[in-house]
């Protein structure tokens, strides 16, 4: 008789009471086998992808095996579903943050968002802007001129100047902030 068959007739509560570090993998496998369909269904409901749900199930199984020895579980089924739901929600939050970072990256690269002025603006404003640009550090001046006046993308600037994307971003952001401060002063 296999280990799983020996434990298969025992209730969740009895299995949990008998958990030790020596038999955790066997007993958690028996427990998870009982609920694998429901866990997959829950993951699929939240993640909306069979592949992502399958991956989540594998991660949940490992997570459950680690947490079972430490947790004070009264009702395994309820606890399992809470842990599974929380895992799926964490995945969705992480995915959302990644998507927001991608969107922010694309916005920064989008010329329409950061080349807002046109040739019809008043001459005094351009003169003031030129004075403010001259007040920037040499690196900020160069990046502001390349990005706004020469209309080069971050990628083009990094390739031309052989500096990192983050350095370009920092110089442009700091330059833009300093320009705003300078323009608002007068």
Q: Which two tokens stand for residue 25?
A: 């993998």
Same domain, 42 and 59: yes
The model's pLDDT over 45-85, given as tens digits with 9 standing for 90+, comes to: 999 999 999 999 999 988 887 888 788 888 888 998 999 99
Which of 14-28, 59-73, 111-125 is predicted with the least confidence, judged by mean pLDDT?
111-125
| Cβ contact 147:175 at 8 Å | no
CA–CA dist 153, 143 (Å, integer): 10
Average pLDDT over residues 156-179: 89
| Cβ contact 57:43 at 8 Å | yes
Q: Which two tokens stand for residue 172?
A: 């442009």
CA–CA dist 147, 110 (Å, integer): 11
Average pLDDT over residues 126-130: 80
- Helices 24-47 and 76-109, axial angle in degrees (round to 10): 50
pLDDT reported for residue 1: 42
**What is the domain extent for residue 68?**
3-109
Q: Which two tokens stand for residue 149?
A: 């006046």
Same domain, 28 and 116: no
Same domain, 48 and 66: yes
| Cβ contact 136:142 at 8 Å | no
CA–CA dist 80, 31 (Å, integer): 10
Q: How many residues does the chain have?
A: 186
Same domain, 49 and 96: yes
Based on the number of CB atoms within 10 Å of its own CB, is 146 exposed (0-12), middle (13-18) or buried (19 or more)? buried
- Give ∠ CA 155-159-164 in degrees, rounded to 5: 75
- Helices 165-185 and 154-161, axial angle in degrees (round to 10): 110
CA–CA dist 135, 133 (Å, integer): 5
CATH number, domain of 136, equals 1.10.10.10
Same domain, 84 and 15: yes
pTM above 0.85, yes or no: no
């Amino acid at each position: 008789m296999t280990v799983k068959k020996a434990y298969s007739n025992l209730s969740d509560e009895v299995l949990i009471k008998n958990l030790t570090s020596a038999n955790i993998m066997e007993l958690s496998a028996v427990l998870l086998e009982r609920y694998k369909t429901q866990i997959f269904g829950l993951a699929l409901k939240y993640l909306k992808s069979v592949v992502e749900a399958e991956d989540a199930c594998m991660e949940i199984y490992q997570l459950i095996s680690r947490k079972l020895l430490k947790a004070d579980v009264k009702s395994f089924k309820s606890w399992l579903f809470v842990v599974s739901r929380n895992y799926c929600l964490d995945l969705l939050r992480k995915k959302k943050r990644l998507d927001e970072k991608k969107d922010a990256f694309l916005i920064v690269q989008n010329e329409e968002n950061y080349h807002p002025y046109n040739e019809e603006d008043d001459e005094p404003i351009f003169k003031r802007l030129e004075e403010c640009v001259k007040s920037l550090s040499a690196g900020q001046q160069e990046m502001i001129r390349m990005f706004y006046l020469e209309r080069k993308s971050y990628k083009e600037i990094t390739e031309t100047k052989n500096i990192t994307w983050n350095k370009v971003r920092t110089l442009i952001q700091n330059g833009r902030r300093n320009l705003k401060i300078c323009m608002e002063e007068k």
